Amino acid sequence: MNRLNHVAIIMDGNGRWGLKHKKSRNAGHKAGLKTVEKIIKTTIKNKIKYLTLYAFSTENWKRPKKEINFLFNLLENFLTERIDDLHKQNIKLKIIGEKIFSSKLNKLLRLSEKKTLNNKKLQINLALNYGSKTELISAFKKLQKNKVKISEYNIKKYLLTNKIPDPDILIRTGNTQRLSNFLLWQLAYTEIFFEKKLWPDFNEKDFGKILNKYQKIRRNFGRV
Ligand code: IPE
Ligand code: IPE
Ligand code: MG
């Protein structure tokens, strides 16, 4: 059995789904949130300890203001309504990315993290305003400032994912095969699955198929 501690997901395809079904990209983001809920459940069922979700990249600020506002409103409403329930389910929420949103959302994110800090069942890392290059630059700057030796161990220590094991699986939905500045360091030995389906269409069964495929892979890590 391959160990399975951590699944990371690039949740792509909301906009296309929304345009196709409801003539609005934002409708796709709303539908995508339902998939998030389903996938959290499946992750817990499979006893996976870490789930990292790419929700907003440092590059996504280039989108129309209306779409950006819609996305953050969606998140704000979701957390306001669901954080107590997530807490009851023993889920820990961690934000990776600098919190530079509205003061209301920043506060809500901090509160949600604080509330769920000691939870143990599943850790959800929500990548928000996350970019791997920014993360690496900031880590190198800290190393330099503290005069710490450059080593794999020390670089890892200064990443936003410092206490989190590297992902075993990366899934990208939406029929696109690129990393879009996501976890470039952490994915060095991750098994990558590109999924044709758009994120709102992705379901428990698709997730299960990937987990099965993953178990059949021989992970060499350089060995023979
Ligand atoms: C991914 O879906 C979600 C976010 C970036 C927030 P997209 O919005 O990129 O959907 P497509 O790729 O345009 O269909
Ligand atoms: C990656 O999707 C970011 C998220 C899923 C949050 P994008 O749709 O922004 O990626 P590109 O720009 O097409 O590479
Ligand atoms: Mg996209």
User: Encoding tokens for residue 113?
Assistant: 């993290």
Whole-number pLDDT of residue 184: 98
State the chain's maximal CA–CA distance in angstroms. Answer: 54
Cα-flanking dihedrals φ and ψ of residue 52, to 5°? Answer: -110, 125
Spatial contact of 28 and 200, defined as CB atoms under 8 Å apart: yes
Of the candidates 114, 125, 111, 112, which has an alpha carbon nearest to the alpha carbon of residue 166?
125
CATH fold group of domain 6-131+167-215: Undecaprenyl pyrophosphate synthetase (3.40.1180)
Pocket of ligand 2 (CB under 6 A): 10-12, 54-57, 59-60, 178, 180
Mean pLDDT by 10 residues, the chain (224 residues): 98 98 98 98 98 98 98 98 98 98 98 98 98 98 97 98 98 98 98 98 98 98 96
Whole-number pLDDT of residue 164: 98
State if residue 10 touches ligand 1 by the CB under 6 angstroms criterion. no
Using most ligand atoms within 8 A of CB, pick from 16, 60, 67 the residue to mutate for ligand 2.
Answer: 60
The Cα 38–Cα 25 span in angstroms is 21
Q: Is 206 a catalytic residue?
A: no
Query: What ranges make up the beta strands (E) of the chain?
Result: 6-10, 50-57, 91-96, 122-130, 169-172, 191-194
Q: Which sequence spans correspond to the domains of the chain?
A: 6-131+167-215
Q: Is 201 a catalytic residue?
A: no
pTM score, two decimals? 0.98
Spatial contact of 29 and 211, defined as CB atoms under 8 Å apart: no
Please identify, by atom number, the ligand 2 atom nearest to the C-alpha of residue 127. Answer: 6
User: Encoding tokens for residue 97?
Assistant: 């990315």
Indicate the burial class of 6 (C-beta count within 10 angstroms; 0-12, 13-18, 19 or more). buried
DSSP code of 158? Answer: T
Whole-number pLDDT of residue 60: 98
The Cα 70–Cα 197 span in angstroms is 23
> Which is catalytic among the residues 12, 14, 26, 129?
12
Whole-number pLDDT of residue 220: 97
The rounded Å distance from CA 14 to ligand 1 centre is: 5
Whole-number pLDDT of residue 161: 98
